[in-house]
Homo-oligomer: A and B are copies of this chain.
Amino acid sequence: MICVLAGGVGAARFLRGLIQVVPPAEVTAVVNVADDMVLSGLHISPDLDTVTYTLAGVNDTERGWGLAGETWHALEALRRFDPDAWFSLGDRDLGTHLYRTGRLAAGATLSEATAGICAGFGLEVSVLPVTDDPLRTRVTLATDDGAAGEEVDFQDYFVRRRHDVAVHSLRFDGADVARPAPGVLAALDAAEVIVVAPSNPLVSIDPVLAVPGVRQALTERRADVVAVSPIVAGRALKGPADRLLRELGHDPSAIGVARHYAEVAATLVIDEADADRAADVEAAGMRCVVAPTVMSTPERAAALAARTIESGRGHQAAGS
């Protein structure tokens, strides 16, 4: 069994590669839900949807999010009344939100709604929200002089402001009382290798680790935990991870990622472009594996997944 802590696009690509080299039924994805939002009454789970759409092979690879062959009639109609509507809701994507919201309104948990979506797509991978409880990343923007400014919802920061603003700090609202969703701790416990996917460490993985019990589960299994750096040559392949790392006091590099994950993971996979930082990663307390990490094709994603799993197993075999 393999358990993968997952955010959105990077994690989804990794998972898609992983099921080329591991039977899908042996994979559990524990997915961030702190990006979730309720918009116009609909419960939207961006990371869960990115993971399920990608695993189902129905994601739009060019746009990088949402469904392939999507249409935008609902959004166009909405903008007739509200020209400022800023969140892109595709028509087919709305079907997912309608289903999820309807299930939640009828008393189902987010796990149960997610299982229904996975069943609709015929997925064999177990896709679990990290928690069924409310967990929301709140972003305090930085003022011009670096002080704490307005606090906004994550999607307000990420989509509406296109993450093109300085961040002062983050907090995960609800993390203190959130409970791991059914199956999460069991999957971490049963996993031969636990992977921290190449997702944003601060806004995708940290909220997963913030759910009581998850960080501890990883710490206890540290030798079997392999993280994949989402930073290549000092830059995030997608999204604001590099800028956020810098603004929040981390080194925006594979080394910064190593320092951030050293407590929960024994091994870090870094890109070949960062091969010269391997010694620094080891100095930060992590075993370092150098591999091509840019998942520009499904084959490269599968190769990265194979190498990552191998690294976790190799580490165990070496007993280090």
Contacts and interface: CB of A to CB of B under 8 A. Distances in A.
A43 interface: yes
Interface residues of A, number: 38
Contacts of A82: 99, 102, 116
A91 interface: yes
A40 B39 CA distance: 12
B71 A96 contact: no
A77 B105 contact: no
B117 A92 contact: no
Where chain A touches its partner, the secondary structure class is helix
A73 to B, nearest CB: 4
Given A40-B101, A82-B99, A73 B71 contact: yes
A181 B145 CA distance: 48
A78 B119 CA distance: 13
Interface in A15-68: 38-43, 67
Contacts of A79: 95
A42 B105 CA distance: 11
B73 A120 contact: no
A161 to B, nearest CB: 19
A43 B42 CA distance: 11
A98 interface: yes
B105 A92 contact: no
A81 B56 CA distance: 13
A92 B76 contact: yes
Interface string A254-266: 0000000000000
Contacts of A209: none
A102 B40 contact: yes
A94 interface: yes
Contacts of A80: 95, 120-121
B102 A74 contact: no
Contacts of A91: 71, 73-74, 77, 91, 94
A97 B117 CA distance: 23
A147 B78 CA distance: 45
B95 A74 contact: yes
B81 A117 contact: yes
21 contacts: A41-B42, A41-B105, A42-B42, A42-B98, A42-B101, A67-B77, A71-B91, A73-B91, A74-B91, A74-B98, A75-B95, A76-B92, A76-B95, A77-B92, A77-B94, A77-B96, A79-B95, A80-B120, A81-B95, A82-B99, A91-B91
Which 4 residue pairs of A and B lie closest in terms of their CB atoms, listed nearest first?
A: A77-B95, A41-B41, A40-B102, A73-B91
